[in-house]
Amino acid sequence: MCKEGKLEEATEVLGKMKENGLVPTDVTYNILIDAYCNKGDLGMAFTYRDEMVKEGIVPTASTYNLLIHALFMEGKMGEADDMIKEMGEKGIRPHSITAFSLLKKMDEMKILPDEVTNNTIMQGYCREGKIKEARELLDQMKRKGIKPDHFSYNTLISGYSRRGDMKDAFRVRDEMLSISFNPTLLTYNALIQGLIV
């Protein structure tokens, strides 16, 4: 139903599940959260996250990935701090949390960030022009044994290209080649765009 955009019907199914004594899982909620994030309705996505927590279901790495990605795509990086405050354990002090702290909090809560989480944060950094931070995050991924993928490298190349820093963009492309990652169409598009600007 969610894939077909029938979100109201999907919500009704969740209600019927509960009426019949069936207990929804994190997968159930993540499907609805994903659907509302894709629709651009972050309010409903967070409503389901709150309901999930109220039901005693611990948000998973997938839950974080969906919500963080949606916030960053909306250009609301600061609101990721609010998500951590709301979802964090009691006693988290209300202060500004950087993306690195966000990853640290996920780690403290036993939710291991994967390449999707890191790529999402990298993408958010690049959108804000914080290429240095994106580069540091890629290096941190490697140190933690999280293997960067094509998306990781293409995000960084695109960030450098948009800034007009072609030397570093080509350096990242060379880094891709050194680990046997062949550049993709996205890689070349980003490089060409940087060269013609």
The pLDDT value recorded for residue 88 is 54
* pTM of the predicted model as reported, rounded to 2 decimal places: 0.50
Please state, as a whole number, how many other Cβ atoms lie within 10 Å of the Cβ of residue 85.
14
> Does the 114-197 domain belong in CATH 1.25.40.10?
yes
The pLDDT value recorded for residue 85 is 57
- Write the DSSP string, 110-153: T----HHHHHHHHHHHHHTT-HHHHHHHHHHHHHTT----HHHH
The pLDDT value recorded for residue 113 is 61
The pLDDT value recorded for residue 90 is 31
User: Long-range contacts of range 164-167, CB-CB < 8 Å, 24 or more positions apart?
Assistant: 164/194, 164/197, 165/131, 165/194, 166/191, 166/194, 166/195
3-state helix, strand, coil in the chain (%, to 5): 70, 0, 30
What does each of the 197 residues of the chain score in pLDDT, given as a tens digit? 888 888 889 989 988 998 998 889 989 999 999 999 888 899 999 999 899 889 888 777 678 778 877 876 676 766 765 665 555 543 323 233 445 556 655 665 566 566 777 787 888 788 778 889 889 888 988 888 888 888 899 999 999 998 899 999 999 999 999 998 888 888 998 899 888 86
The pLDDT value recorded for residue 101 is 56
**What is the architecture, at CATH level 2, of domain 1-111?**
Alpha Horseshoe (1.25)
Domain positions in the chain: 1-111, 114-197
* Tokens read off for 64: 């974080």
Q: How far is CA 122 from CA 28, 111, 157, 162, in A?
A: 28, 18, 11, 14
